[in-house]
Amino acid sequence: MRKKVLITYNLFREGFVELEKEFDLIFPPEKVFTQEELSMQIGDCDALLPMFNLTVNRKLIDAGKKLKIIANYGVGYNNIDVGYATQKGIAVTNTPDPVIEPTAELAFSLMAAVARRIPECDRKLREGAIKWGVLENLGTGLYGKTLGIIGMGRIGQAIARRAVASGMKVTYHNRNRLDAQTEQRYDSTYLSFNDLLQTSDYISLNMPLTEDTFHLIGENELNRMKKSAILINTARGAVIDEKALVRSLASGHLGGAGLDVYEHEPDITPQLLTMDNVVLSPHNGTATIDGRNAMSRYAAENITRFFRGEKLLSRIN
């Protein structure tokens, strides 16, 4: 009898061609399953493929009587009660590899968009409110500036590669310092957390959300940054105290921010919506057609390998 895989979002089928050869796939009839529909469906399923924004709590895990693997669609897994899944003998995987390049692309795009005021100028041109002139609409450049990367994992390193190509100086802070060869590859300098905050023109956040990183950037940290600094967050919203960020931007202390994630998404602090020095993106870091299909194939491969008894591409627990 073929095993069943419950997929919580109506994703492109292209990424599941191989998985469908061995498993019965259950997609939502509309865009996404509700929690109630999931609870009704999951009892008969062997694998769950949830989106990164779906809460997989004890109640849902308990409802999965036959559940053996949760193959998360996303690199972050703070949406899953991993400890409880482990306790129940359920494997938990994620999709780290496919998210690297698209997330780095978006982080760098946000940085350039804030620095050069691209969305603001675009809007004012469309509204007929733009002021023309040599000293109007001035932004700041990337070349020769210092980018401080907090979280120098694979996404951080992909951002560093783009920064080096743009003539930026790269500094970083990481839980563990990188080896000398990797530092040399990105011509990067390791700094303490405090030194990075104080010396960077741009700061990019690229870490998972944990108890240690919750509100990693708060009022004290924002006050240590350069007055002109631009903060980029493509990690998780709650690594920044969003209210403190709004105060720092409104006071003119911080030069600007590029945000793809929010502390209480999909809700966004209303003041952020009115600020010209803020560029907002709807948790879009991995949102390319290629990226979505690659994530599907990666999650599907984890499921296939698990039931074949083969080594998984990635495993959280």
H helices of 132-211, in order, are 154-165, 180-185, 193-199
Q: Are residue 90 and residue 158 in the same domain, yes or no? A: no
Task: Tell whether 110 is covered by a domain.
Answer: no
What mean pLDDT do residues 208-237 have?
96
Whether residue 254 is predicted with pLDDT greater than 90 in this model: the reply is yes
Q: Is residue 107 part of a domain?
A: no
Q: Are residues 143 and 239 in the same domain?
A: yes
57 plus 85 within the same structural domain: yes
Amino acid identity at 61: I
Q: What are phi and psi of 23, to 5 degrees?
A: -130, 155
Residue percentage of the chain with pLDDT more than 70:
100
- The answer to whether 219 and 227 are in contact (CB under 8 A) is no
Q: 103 lies in a domain?
A: no
User: Which stretches of the chain are assigned E, i.e. beta strand?
Assistant: 4-7, 24-26, 47-49, 69-71, 91-93, 146-150, 169-173, 188-190, 202-205, 230-233, 256-259, 278-280
In a domain? residue 40: yes
User: Does 283 participate in catalysis according to the annotation?
Assistant: yes
Residues 158 and 66 in one domain: no
Residue 190 counted as domain residue: yes
Q: Which of 162, 236, 292, 297 is catalytic?
A: 236
Residue 46 and residue 84: Cα distance in Å, rounded? 17
Mean pLDDT of 194-223: 96
Range 111-132 average pLDDT: 97
173 is an active site residue: no
Is residue 36 located within the same domain as residue 9? yes
pTM above 0.85, yes or no: yes
124 and 76 in a common domain? no
Asked, for residue 182, whether it belongs to a domain, the answer is: yes
Are 272 and 293 part of one and the same domain? no
Residues 221 and 294 in one domain: no
Give the SS3 label for residue 82: helix
Q: Compute how many other C-beta atoms are within 10 angstroms of the C-beta atom of residue 317.
A: 15
Same domain? For 197 and 80 the reply is no
160-206 pLDDT, tens per residue? 999 999 999 999 999 999 999 999 999 999 999 999 999 999 999 99
Q: Are residues 36 and 82 in the same domain?
A: yes
Asked if residues 111 and 141 have their Cβ atoms less than 8 Å apart, the reply is: no
Query: Catalytic residue among 116, 215, 265, 305, which?
Result: 265
Percent of the chain with pLDDT over 90: 95
pLDDT for 75 beyond 90? no
Question: Do residues 204 and 84 both lie within one domain?
Answer: no
Tell me: pLDDT of 46 over 90: yes
Q: Does one domain contain both 182 and 146?
A: yes
Q: Determine the distance from the C-alpha atom of residue 16 to the mean position of all C-alpha atoms in its chain, rounded to a whole number.
A: 23
In a domain, 317, yes or no: no
222 confidence band (pLDDT: 50, 70, 90)? very high
pLDDT of residue 1: 85
Annotated active-site residue 236? The verdict is yes
The residue segments making up the domain with residue 23 are 4-98+288-308
User: Residue 93: which region, alpha, beta or left (left: phi > 0; alpha: psi -120 to 50)?
Assistant: beta
Q: Distance between CA atoms of 192 and 226, rounded to whole angstroms?
A: 16
Asked, for residue 223, whether it belongs to a domain, the answer is yes
Please count the structural domains in the chain: 2
Instruction: Choose, from 162, 283, 292, 297, the residue flagged as catalytic.
Output: 283
Sorting pLDDT into bands at 50, 70 and 90, what band is 214? very high
Angle at 6 between CA 4 and CA 10, to 5 degrees: 130
CATH code where residue 175 lies: 3.40.50.720
